Structure 1
């Protein structure tokens, strides 16, 4: 590959390009012999994305990529199919548009205001499906996507910090440099408190890709005009396109894409594996000392998050165990209590029967021996009431 074809620069940029190709080779050597989908995934461009995410630190990038390869082998994101996650998509909370931004990037629209499920596992699996689908539909000269987040109808009950953290983990850990920009469109005031809690979860590079846009602020609307063709952009984001989400039409599109996915990941597909690293003017500026310090912070956060996750999992398992034990104990207690109550009820019934029998005898005594009752008040009659004969 010629460095001159990748970046129009001087000898310094050419040297930097060659140095980065060398680092890509180091990561590849550290990974060892690859085969199947793993080999397809680890193209020069893919390895470069992990190096960029870790500021071209070979050791850190290799560690990060190995985690993704393990995750992909277990989670199998490329094998998720529409019918498996269709219920998550019913309201259009996440969908890929049929148009691209001016740079040719895939666009994922997200509408947290129409969240329709509660389980984090299903929500993340649908997000992964959407990420894989967006990548599948990228043009050959593009590797990133755009997130358009619409806050219409939003309330804090629509999102959780836990799901947000899982989303950040998936995006930053397994899809590095896939997000080009995230537009948070017309976020309400109530979102500010959540953003203060959620923003520290994001790595600096991801945080810097988040843009807040408000329809009543011309300076932020310019962001939309610079990024999108306003004729294609949906009216919900200030564009002129009046299209609305239709689940039936979208399902048909996704099923067509599902048929394309195995072809992309077939061992014979040399296009995926041979995706080259291209150094653009923007990537030529990467590697500054300030980014280095940011990456160190990100790595520390990653280690802290990992420890926290392990702790949460342990605590969660412990809590579930305790809950189950308490539940079993309660059931046993209730069972014993139930038997006890039944026994007590039977005992009380017998006592009532005995008491009624005794009362009958006493009443009979009062009735057949009236003479003994003379001068005796009702209280002194030992069970004979004033109405007794």
Structure 2
């Protein structure tokens, strides 16, 4: 007998554990079967509808397994929490009207082009933060994640984050929002991040990174790359990832186009219509009507909570480190770029 058939080669994954291609289907089915045995599963199925099948697909379960190093029990627990979150939060039903106020400055948006691997690109510019409501910020983040995932090719699961630190200041820092962002992305969108490019972070960002890093899993921090325009290797690095003619000039590309909220709004409205049709089916008029009513209700709730203030509570070690960052920023007039080890 062919020894390769008896001992199939280990397939490398994004986790720290290698699992043979032969064993992966069994682990995926183990998670699915465990979820199906939960006493509350009928209620979850009823609430999620078609979304339940997508969450329990082989591809989806595989991401949760990879995020938990192929540990079936941990992946099951993680996926169950996500199912409950999706049932309550209804991320697939968030539409442009619910988040338009958060989007208007261009602080976060999906780029109109992909990287060389066909991954969606989310551009973030913290300088343009326009809200003090963590709840509203997270709702917009979830909307952007759902939109970026919708545009991924069937064979692609991950996306790229491009973060432009031009004009970044201490007023753009919120520990509370950062913690919640990390929690949502890691708990409910596992293995969706392919790469995060932090472009020209200033000197005072280093203490902030020390605060943020413990919130992130090691696999996540390994995907964070600090890139500096004055580094001789930067051009080669960016060219290896992106088509320079399409890449925005702010990141060293040749695309001079600027964010236009009117154009972007039309793109997102068109995407919403396509997503709704894809998720629920165009033939189900009653379902569409019900969703429209729920969306209107959500929009009303959003308008009421968009002004919620963001307070991080009592003084902590985190605040002390941010005070250190403030001293650095004050000392050098805002802080020039500095090499930061991820």
One fold, TM greater than 0.5?
A: yes
Say if 1:77 and 1:128, in contact at 8 Å, map to a contact too: yes
Please name the residue that 2:108 is paired with: 94
Correspondence 1:21-100 to 2 at 5 A: 21-32=25-36, 35=45, 36=49, 37-100=51-114
Measure the CA separation in 2 of the matches of 1:205 and 1:263: 35
Q: Does 1:155 align with 2:169?
A: yes
Measure the CA separation in 1 of the matches of 2:258 and 2:173: 23
Q: Does 1:240 align with 2:257?
A: no
User: SS of the counterpart of 2:225?
Assistant: strand
- Tell me how far 1:225 sits from its aligned partner: 1.2
Say if 2:107 and 2:124, in contact at 8 Å, map to a contact too: yes
Please name the residue that 2:276 is paired with: 262
Deviations 1:259-294 (A, max 9, x none): 01122322799xxxxxxxxxxxxxxxxxxxxxxxxx
- Tell me how far 1:192 sits from its aligned partner: 1.0
Q: Does 1:20 align with 2:24?
A: yes
Say if 2:8 and 2:22, in contact at 8 Å, map to a contact too: no
- Tell me how far 1:144 sits from its aligned partner: 0.5
**Structure 1 residue runs of 4 or more that deviate by more than 4 Å after TM superposition:** none
Measure the CA separation in 1 of the matches of 2:268 and 2:113: 15
Deviations 1:172-216 (A, max 9, x none): 000000010000001111111111111111100000000000000
Measure the CA separation in 2 of the matches of 1:12 and 1:106: 31
Measure the CA separation in 1 of the matches of 2:193 and 2:269: 24
Measure the CA separation in 2 of the matches of 1:143 and 1:120: 27
Deviations 1:18-43 (A, max 9, x none): 20110000000001167422122211
1:11 to 8, 11, 36: 8
Please name the residue that 1:167 is paired with: 181
Please name the residue that 1:121 is paired with: 135
Larger-Rg structure: 1
Would you tell me which structure has more helix in proportion to its own residues? 1
Deviations 1:291-335 (A, max 9, x none): xxxxxxxxxxxxxxxxxxxxxxxx98xxxxxxxxxxxxxxxxxxx
Say if 1:88 and 1:116, in contact at 8 Å, map to a contact too: yes
Measure the CA separation in 2 of the matches of 1:154 and 1:12: 47
2:145 to 131, 136, 151: 131
- Tell me how far 1:251 sits from its aligned partner: 0.1
Say if 1:88 and 1:123, in contact at 8 Å, map to a contact too: yes
| Cα 1:191/1:234, change in 2 over 3 Å | same
Say if 1:110 and 1:147, in contact at 8 Å, map to a contact too: yes
Correspondence 1:1-389 to 2 at 5 A: 11-13=8-10, 16-32=20-36, 35=45, 36=49, 37-266=51-280
Q: How many pairs does the alignment contain? A: 262
Measure the CA separation in 2 of the matches of 1:64 and 1:249: 38
User: SS of the counterpart of 2:130?
Assistant: coil
Say if 1:213 and 1:221, in contact at 8 Å, map to a contact too: no
Q: CA RMSD in A?
A: 1.9
| Cα 1:268/1:254, change in 2 over 3 Å | closer
Say if 1:40 and 1:265, in contact at 8 Å, map to a contact too: no
TM score, norm. by length of structure 1: 0.65
TM score, norm. by length of structure 2: 0.74
Measure the CA separation in 2 of the matches of 1:258 and 1:183: 27
User: SS of the counterpart of 1:138?
Assistant: coil
